[in-house]
Chain A
Amino acid sequence: MAVPVYSADIVAQARRRRMRRVWLVVMLGIVVAGYTYGALAERVEDRNDLLPQWLEAVLLGTVFALASLPSGSAILARIFIPVPTFLLYITVLTGKDPPLPYYAAFPVALAYAAALTVLSAYLAEVPERSRLGSRR
């Protein structure tokens, strides 16, 4: 089967589009990290975390960014989103002032974990926006 030959413009355009997507997920990773750090800082009690707060936040942001990359292997990173997110956010919700009761904190933390997982899947797998006049 013949390999299609694209012009330099088309190749450059595709590269730019890909870079934009990578840039977007990196930015969103930073947002997730910042958000998580702020959420962890809302806790009024020491929760005996395994890692420093900032490292937990950075790790979650990094995993989210990797899981959102437009690449087939992003699914491997996505495995690590739901459980850590759930655990982190349930400590936030039950440890903030005023705390949420456990029966409320559980579904809310679950919603956070689901939201981050679904969003990363969407970002990784959503097709490029179809251009005007294209048949896609």
Chain B
Amino acid sequence: MRRSLLLSLLIYGLILFGLLTLRGDILTLSIPLVIYLLSGLLRAPREINLNVERKLSVERTGADMPVRVTLHITNAGATLEDVLITDKLSPRLKILDGSARHLLHLAKGQTVNLTYTVSGPRGYYPFPGLRVEARDHFGLVSREGTIPTPGQLFVLPSVLRLKQIAIRTRKTRVYSGTIPARVGGPGVEFFGLREYQAGDSPRWINWRASARHAFSMYSNEFEQERVADIGIVLDGRLKTNIFDKEHSLFEYSIMAVAAMADVLLSQGNRVGLLDYGRYLRWTFPGYGKIQRERILQALAHAQIGSNTVFSELEYIPTRLFPSHSQIILVSPLDADDVHVLVQLRARGYQVMVISPDPIAFELSYLPKNEPVDQAARLLRMERKLLIHKLQRAGIQVLDWDISQPFDQVVKRRLGRPPALLRAIGGQI
């Protein structure tokens, strides 16, 4: 019950009791209550007129890094006797220092600075505004309001720095890059021989081949290296990411996507990102550092979700990816995904799957005993079969045991071999 209502009822009750008993002294009991009520109402807040400015020490940061939030509040209205200011924060943000809630007395024209420090896991955190509740000094009348103070914080995923990775797409773009384009021209790798043309560098002349022909000379031709279109698909489906209702592989997928996008963009490629989970979130393909930032911000937004429509991968909108481009799917994989990936491959896409191993992940949370070992063995066989099916369809699969660092796994499986080994056609 509201305090002013309770007090009013008590006052009227005393007056009524005094009248019924015909006792004036009982009526006088209500006098302190009346004075209390009127005093509170007299100083009740008429309006809340606060000017608030929000400043964040950084608007983009890494996970669990401290961010200082400063609120500069000026009371542009009448004096507020008792005002409770609460900054609406995401429950995932942790306050390290200070408080997001303050109880203040704000005189007319007074300015205060409130600061606190927060940190949080990967995510996007908007700051919608301040909730303000002003009351008279006895708390009989209160006025509430929300003051919008827009602000946002991106807690970006950490980016592992990978060295160059070797991918071969069927189709490349016209700009020079690092992906072998299956076309002769200026480059590094030997591609073939052609007849000498005026303007060829003497260093390109293949003297051994030319010596075999009396009237013609031959030049070496190199394989052009260009940039390519690469679409990364992040699998955010609940059924593939969550185990035992609480443990999630999703953060590993995020880490892999961030690392892959970073290295592919730094190689000059055109990279886009599709977040495939509760809904589709498409980051349009682009180049360079701005695109890197866009992808990291999209990854900050990424969440696991379930949607009956997107429970299977078959609704990946392939029109978003240029034909014959490279598609990298980062997913723990589900048995139903095979036919979708094989179809993608059949349509001409170069498909690579980076799959954080869900079995090793789940096993790390289970007790070690015979039934668990047997179940794990069965699941491993199923997964091996799944991966084997994909590989037979020409899909490159990187099965990532998350107990090993991602950069080491990538270096071993996707790294470009040293020039010496490439010259003799070897692999690492």
Determine if chain A interacts with chain B. no
Residues of A in contact with B (beta carbons under 8 Å apart):
none
Residues of B in contact with A (beta carbons under 8 Å apart):
none
